[in-house]
Every structure is written in C-alpha cells, then in structure tokens.
A and B are shown apart, each in its own frame.
Chain A
Amino acid sequence: MSDVSLTVNGRKVSASVEDRTLLVHFLRENLGLTGTHVGCDTSQCGACVVHVDGKAVKSCTMLAAQASGSTVVTIEGLADGADLHPVQAAFKENHGLQCGFCTPGMIMSATDMINRHPQGLDEATVRAELEGNICRCTGYHNIVKAILAASEEMSKAGKGKAKKAA
C-alpha cells in the first residue's frame, strides 16, 4: 500500500491505496470524480486526460503513487464556480460534443494546448495537437472549431487583462 497525498481541484486529499492504483482510478473511485473517463487500455484515447502540476497527462498511464505530492486539476475543477471555463463554454457554443464521453479529456487537452500556444492556434496545429484524443461522434469538425474559438477568446481576455493591469 502507498500513502498518497495530493491537491485535487484545490482540495488536499490523502489516502492509502494499493500501489497498482492508477491515478484515474484514484480520482474516480476514491474521490468520486467520475468526470475523468477510461476509453482504452493502450494509453491512446485521451478520455482520461487531467492536468498534473499544470501539464496535461493521461491519468490512466500514471500511478496514483507517482502523482503523490502533485497538484491535479480534473474536468470537475476547471470551471470557476458557476462560470464555465472559456474552453467549456466554447465546446457548448460550437457543439463540440455529442455523447460526452471523450469530452472531459478533450477539454483538458484543449486547455493545455491553448496554454502552450499563447500566440494563438491554427486549424492544422489543433488537429496535430489532438493526436492523443479520440472522438467517435463529432468527426472532430466542431471540436477543432471550439478550440480555435476558445483560443481566440482566451487571447482576447488575456490582452484585456494585460491592458487593465497596465
């Protein structure tokens, strides 16, 4: 057994878990955060993507013990209270989801992608960067549209903030 303690969505949590416990199972089963999904066994579908210490990772390919001491954000922790994160809002506005199963991973990946490209994104980059996330419903068309829209929105908001600060 491993004693793990992490900060998940701003809350400190500790538990004693079997060493073989994957981070995704720790989140889903120990913490009840079932928004993070498991869609494959080979670390390819990306339904399980969460942020660990600010970076998108596949929570199905990391032991909970490896993440001990880290700060984790899951889909449940992305919105600011009742206010949707701009990426969440863009997925809704642009019909970037259908069955919703890949959606949490898509949104967490998209958020990370936008953060890593503060200069903005184009369609080809978004499609290439989505290599680790599989969707069977949307044909990606509206996911790509949503991410481009969110990137635009966040860069505007970022500039707005900068101006305000100045």
Chain B
Amino acid sequence: MGIEGIGARVARKEDKRFITGNGRYVDDMVVPGMKHAAFVRSPHAHAEIKKIDVSRAKAMPGVIDVLTGKELKADGIGNLICGWMIHSKDGTPMKMGAWSPLAFDRVRYVGDAVVIVVADTKGQARDAAEAVEVTYKEKKAVTEAVAALKKGAPQLHPEADSNLIYDWEIGDAKATDAAIASAAHVTTMKIVNNRLVPNAMEPRAALGHYDKGEDHYTCWTTSQNPHVARLVMSAFYNVAPENKLRVIAPDVGGGFGSKIFIYPEELVCLWASKKTGVPVKWVADRTESFLTDAHGRDHYSEVQMAFDKDNRITGFKVDTVANLGAYMSLFSSSVPTYLYATLLSGQYNIPAIHANVRAVYTNTAPVDAYRGAGRPEATYLVERTMETAARELGVSPAELRRKNFVTQFPHQTPVIMCYDAGDYAASLDAAMKEANYADFPARKAAAAKKGLLRGIGMSCYIEACGIAPSAAVGSLGAGVGLWESAEVRVNAVGTVEVLTGSHSHGQGHETTFAQLVSDRFGVPIDSVSIVHGDTDKVQMGMGTYGSRSGAVGMSAIVKALDKVEAKAKKIAAHLMEADEGDIVIENGALKVAGTDKTVPWFQMALAAYTAHNLPSGMEPGLKEGAFYDPSNFTFPAGCYICEVEIDPDTGVTKIIQFVAADDFGNVINPMIVEGQVHGGIAQGVGQALLEGAHYDASGQLLTASYMDYTMPRADDLPSFKVSTSNTPCPGNPLGIKGCGEAGAIGSPPAVINAITDALGIADLTMPATPQKVWAAAQAVKH
C-alpha cells in the first residue's frame, strides 16, 4: 500500500468543507424566487376527511397558494408505492393500500400530509397552515401489529383484510417441527424488537424547481439514492419523464436508511413548483421528522430453538409479526422477509429452519429499512435465544456458540444464503481476549462488594451485505436491479474524476474511492475527485444503503479502472515503442518492466487527448465506464462483548466496556471503517438501552421530540474497543464485505445478554431504561 492507497489511514478529503462550515446541504440551497412550504398534517391517527377549506389560509399574508390532494390527483400524480413484491404463502401478492402523497379522503397516521401551503417565508407558510380548516371524522385507531390482526380491529385499507399485508414463509416447516419434536432441549422465547426513529441529524428537506422555459424539473433532496428517486418519481409518480427531471442529493446529513425512500414531500414540492410557478423549498422540523420519517424495526416474534443431547442445534422455528405502519414505504416489504429471515441461521450450522412472517398495517408512521434493516432483528432473535439456551443448558455461552459455528465454506443455509468465507471462532477468541473475559468473575465479585450488579454478554452476528445480485433479487420480488455504476475520467493533465452511483452521506467515499485510484495509478488523492449525487452528472446508480458502496460501488470502479489501465498501458507502450504486456504502473508513472524507460502518468494522459501519436485505430481520450453486478451477497460477521454495571438503587446501566471484533474482509481505510463501527454500536446500544418510539392507544406519538425520545449522548457511551480480522470476500475484486451496519446489528443482543446476566433474569424488553431495570432488580431482590 502507498501512503494514500488501499489500507492507509488517510484523513478525509471531504472534512475540509464540513469543519469550516462550507458543507452544502439542501437547506443551504437558495434559488432565485424561491418560496417556502409548510404541510398541514393529520392530528389524528385515523380519520375520514370530510372537508378541506383553504379559503382563509389563501388570504393570509405572503401566501402564494394552498394545494390539496384532489388537485394533485387531478394532475395525474401517482400514489406512493412499495417496490418489492412479496407473495404470501398461498401465492397471492401482497396487499398494497393506496398512499396518496396528499391525503384527500382519509388519514391513517398522525403526520399524514394533507395540504401544502406555499408562502414567501417559512413563518408565513406555517401561519397559513394553521388557518387551513380540515374537518375530520375520527375513527378508531390501532397501533400494535398483533392487535391489528385481531378480529374487530380497526381496518386501515380496503385492500388488506384484517390489516394483513402478507403471510409469508421461508424454510422447511415439517423438518423444523420434527427437529423440535425430537429435541433433547427446546428453548422457547417471546421477543420484541422495539420501534426506532432513525434521527439523522439533518432533517429531511426538498427543493423543487420547475423551469417553465425548459419544461424541466430540478429536485434537491436529502436522498441516499438520487437516481432511484428520479426513476420512481418519473416511472411511477408521473412527475416528469426522466430526461426532464434532475435530482440532486448534495451534502446529506446522515441517512441510516431513512433517506432511501421517496416521501410525499419531495414529490409534492416538485408538483407545487409547477403549479405555483416558483421554486418551493420544504425543510422538516424535528417533530415532523419524528412523525413522518420511516421508522425502523417493530417486530414481535415467538421462537423455538431445538438442541440434541450434545447441545447441537437441530432446528429453529420463528413466527414473526412485523408492523409496517400506515402505508407500505418503498422497500418496506423486503425488510421483514428477505433481509431478515434469510439471516436466521446466524453463524451456526442449523439443519432445519422455518420462519413465518405476517406484515401488518397499523395507524403509525410507515416502517422501512433502518441501519441493518432486518438483520438486527434476525441477529437479536438468534443471539438472545443462544444466550438463553446456554443458561438453560448450563453451559458457557461462548462454548455453545463455538460448538455450533459454521466452519466449512461455502456453507449453504436452509434459508437461501450461501456463506462464502469467514472464521467465526477467530472473532470470538479475539473479542474474549480483548474483553479479558476469563477474569470477569473477579470483576463481578468486586462490583458486588460495592452493591453493583455486573453482567457480561456476547453476540456473534452475521449479516448479508453487498446487495445484491440483480437476477437473484429480481427472482425474490425486487423492482430494481442492485448493481452499481462507475465512470472514470482521466483528464488531459492526468487528474482523475470518478463518477459513481453510490452516494456519500457520511461514509467518506470522497476519500476511500480516491484511495482506490491512488493505489492503482499512483496519483495523489488530491488529484482525484469523486462525483456523485447528481443525475445530470452520473448517468445511473443505485445509491448507498445496505453496506453496499464498498463491495458493489467500488467493484464497479475497479472494473472501470481496469479498462482505463488497459488503454493507458497501450498508449504508454506505443509512446515507448514497447510491448503493452511489459508496461507496469509504479509511483505515478508507466514503465517498461526491467528497463529505465518511463512515461509519467500525466504525459500518457496528455498523449491520449492530444491524439498526435496514438496507436493506430485508437479513439482519443481516456474515459471508461462500467456496471458491476455482484455474484453473491457478502457476509460480514463478528463477535461483540458488552460488560455492564447496574446500580440496583436507580436502575442505571453503565457500559463498562464494549468490545467489537469484526471480519469485514479487506479494508480500504481502517480509520473510516472504525468510525462506521463506532456509530453503528452507538445506534445498537441506543436501541438496547435508550431508544423507543412510543404511540399511545389513540395513535399519538408520545416520543416526538428529543424531550421524550432518548438519543444516545456522549455520556451514555464509553469509548469502544474495536478490531478487525480478515477473511477476504471471494465474491468481489477487492475482497470487501462491508462495514456500515455491523455495529447496529451485533450490539443490541450483547447489551441485553449482559443486562439479563447481571440481573439473573430471562429477558428484558428493549430499551432497558432505568425504570425497567430498577423494577427488574426489585423483583429479583424480593
């Protein structure tokens, strides 16, 4: 590796603008003539809209226009859709209820958008929004998925009887039931995975601009995948054909999944811009974000894990009810199915698995992918159940896991996935060593003397990243292919521009992608620019989510670099009158191997563009593109250990240490990878200890601001001990597995395993708040 190449801990190129206040986020954009939007939202969880009177609002100072769903529908704007088809086990397609970007006849959750007000200032837009008179007839609401399935529950969509979207299964039910029937021991659990609000620090925002002269739309939006946004808004929502719609996702302040989806607001701002003739900007406030950003998780599961007399797992049966909220968000259907149940084998040899998943409508915000998306839910079931089984069987949690680890690769699980490489024992050993696991009993005894309860818990997670082989996901119902594109442009002076369909919203692509180029051509990373986030610049791309930008996005760049390198070598060989097979690239120059003949990189590039002396028949220029479609998923895995100390008097849980030993395959920039793990762990610890979206029975979100939703703060967390090992991924040219979600996937069960260990109890529902832990500690004492 060079000092800026693959494996180097290079400080980030993009930091300069962020640390000096020169980042450019959607809310920073100003277009001449721009006006401001506010949305009128439903205050009810479930109601019929009887009447919308906008006359008073229209007369308010500064108001340009006030627009409703009826007008939107009249203009042919389409309903929001879910782009992944899931079929129930009886073969019927999922039941997708209509989701109008502006509700006109019925509202189904608190925050459902009803009217857009456009005014000179944001304050005036809000003043006028309060003057819109919507007459509602309230209906009974249901917020919990299990309750929504019950007879007599309020019904949300006429398309979905009993609020059931699909009743889906995977695996072999008979074989799994047989394994349970003949087991030496069965561990049975009921497990809740709590609902979370993603809370990227930048609230969602959109700026729609319709250019009358060109009959062309531009949308600046807080998106993780602007090309998908353009595709969906064009093909399904009828805003404009793709060639008339430019989508720009500039600097985006975090996403964590919540900015993958196409929401009503960007669509409505674009439409309203044409309607009003002015550019329209909307920026969510934090409470709007709480109410309307797609939430994450929210599963209820019942599981049974069967063991033989040697403590080997023989079967795993899972029955899950997943709450998808009031409408089906863009990829919501895939999260509790193919992103979830396909990981239920964990790191273990399990001969028989069966999972049944019922997805359900409720009067709550739509639920979709949030960091980990399905994989945290699967890992939580597997690792909580393994821990409980170890306690029931009276064996060490580490040894029960070790005994059941997959050790031969490739390994075909009973639930689609074929694990390609890994060394699970290596991660377990590394984590136990770093945590000084062996000495835990002494630490527990010392804590007990101070009246504190110590506990230790582990979690051996596996996840699937690098989504995904397009044909494979197509066969499973995906509406899009999940390849990635790249274009590498070498300029006449040798500087390089890489256009990528990935999108960086904190992941540091501008640095890691440049490191790849530097590693290959020896040019300094400052001479490499990464271009992304604009459909006018990058032809097509699938965006960033599912830890895919390294494994898929960079693989596309590698393919394009291969082509550039081949042409560059041809040019250099021609210039030096050598055989192209003898050309090597070293230290920023093309050399004839074994000689002192050399052409500097920039000179070769200049030759490509002057075209005075190119090989006969060669086109001038040096620019190559590539599309990369992965051959398999990638399988990051690792072991996390959490040690906690509980104050039984107050119920406060302090994390004494948190150890993460991950196998991400090859790593481009270890500093950035560690940062991803830190952030993921914080979100996972947040889920386990602090965070939970809570609706009351009438469907009001009680946790709709930072006053009530507990965000992890600096003093809630320790510094983390992270390390990586490496079994390279055989499936992509860089041997990368992906690291963006692991922390959030692996950490919740480690925390809860530690807390239940400290308290000596079987289970505690996340988040383990002081109140809950105190109550549990009291119950144990008495």
Contacts and interface: CB of A to CB of B under 8 A. Distances in A.
Real complex partners, A and B? yes
Most buried by B among A28, A39, A95, A98: A98
B714 A140 contact: yes
Interface stretch (B20-28, B208-216, B488-496, B624-632): B20-28
Nearest to B720: A141
Interface in A51-90: 74-76, 78-79, 84, 88
Given A40-B705, A41-B705, A75-B20, A131 B15 contact: no
B256 A136 contact: yes
A100 B714 contact: no
A101 B25 contact: yes
B713 interface: yes
Contacts of A144: 714, 719
9 contacts: A47-B201, A95-B674, A97-B18, A101-B201, A104-B18, A104-B19, A127-B717, A138-B682, A139-B678
Contacts of A107: 19
Interface of A: 18, 20, 28, 33-42, 44-45, 47, 74-76, 78-79, 84, 88, 91-93, 95, 97-104, 107, 123, 126-128, 130-131, 133-145
Contact of A98 (B22, B254, B706, B743): B254
Interface stretch (B160-168, B378-386, B503-511, B596-604): B503-511
B90 interface: no
Contact of A93 (B11, B252, B681, B717): B11
Nearest to B23: A100
A36 B711 CA distance: 21
B679 A137 contact: yes
A91 B123 contact: no
Contacts of B201: 37, 39, 45, 47, 99, 101-102, 134-137
Contacts of B462: none
A40 B286 contact: yes
B645 to A, nearest CB: 15
B690 to A, nearest CB: 12
Interface string B490-525: 000000000000000111100000000000000000
A119 to B, nearest CB: 20
Contacts of A100: 14-15, 17-19, 23, 251, 253, 506
Nearest to B21: A35
B448 interface: no
B715 A99 contact: no
Interface residues of B, number: 56
A78 B14 CA distance: 18
B12 interface: yes
B287 interface: yes
Nearest to B715: A127
Going nearest first, the 6 A-B pairs with the smallest beta carbon separation are A35-B21, A101-B253, A100-B18, A139-B682, A99-B506, A75-B21
Contacts of A135: 201, 714
B720 A76 contact: no
Contacts of A141: 675, 678, 717, 719-720
Nearest to A79: B20
B153 interface: no
A151 B19 CA distance: 17
A131 B716 CA distance: 10
Interface string B229-267: 000000000000000000000011110100000000000
Contacts of B123: 18, 20
Interface in B192-217: 199-203
Contacts of A97: 15, 18-19
Contacts of B711: 134, 136
A76 B675 CA distance: 25
Nearest to A74: B21
A156 B123 CA distance: 48
Most buried by B among A36, A75, A136: A136
Contacts of A140: 678, 682, 712-714, 717
Interface of A is mostly: loop
Contacts of A142: 675, 678
Contacts of A18: 123
A75 B15 CA distance: 13
Nearest to B288: A41
Contacts of B707: 42, 44
A104 to B, nearest CB: 5
A136 B200 contact: yes
Nearest to B19: A88
Given A99-B505, A138-B679, A92 B714 contact: no
A56 B405 CA distance: 52
A98 B20 contact: no
Contacts of B28: 28, 34
B675 A103 contact: no
B19 A92 contact: yes
A142 B682 CA distance: 12
Most buried by B among A35, A40, A79, A107: A40
Contacts of A91: 15, 19
B508 A98 contact: yes
B198 to A, nearest CB: 8
B782 interface: no
A104 B714 contact: no
Contacts of A88: 19-20
A75 B246 CA distance: 31
Contacts of B781: none
Contacts of B23: 35, 100-101, 103
B671 interface: yes
Interface in B366-384: none
Most buried by B among A37, A107, A126: A37
Contact of B254 (A42, A133, A137): A137
B16 interface: yes
Contacts of B505: 99
Contacts of B14: 100
B392 interface: no
Nearest to A128: B715
B672 interface: yes
Contacts of A136: 199-201, 254, 256, 679, 682-683, 711
B159 interface: no
A152 to B, nearest CB: 16
